[in-house]
Amino acid sequence: MTSLDKLQVLQIVTKICQKHRCSIQEINFENKILKIDGPMDDPDARTRCAKELEEMLDLYCRPEEHV
């Protein structure tokens, strides 16, 4: 599977955050930092969002394995 470029990752991260009503507080591609905040009326939203983001990033942003 091919890796995504920074713009594609940002678009997917934004879409997932919007789905869970979370907001991106910080994103740093070089240091692999992504901080999000969730809505006050749904304390579990941030956890759900983080889990979905982790699954997506693990799937698409891993360096390709060389055979």
Residue 40 to residues 23, 43, 61: CA-CA distances in angstroms?
12, 6, 30
N-term to C-term CA, the chain? 13
Mean pLDDT on 38-67: 84
Quick: pLDDT tens for 4-47.
Answer: 788 988 999 999 999 999 999 999 988 889 999 999 999 999 99
What pLDDT does 29 receive?
Answer: 85
The widest CA-to-CA distance across the chain, in whole angstroms, is: 48
Task: Please tell me what DSSP assigns to residue 24.
Answer: E
Crossing angle between the packed helical segments 6-19 and 45-60, to the nearest 10 degrees: 150
Task: Please tell me what DSSP assigns to residue 9.
Answer: H
What pLDDT does 59 receive?
Answer: 82
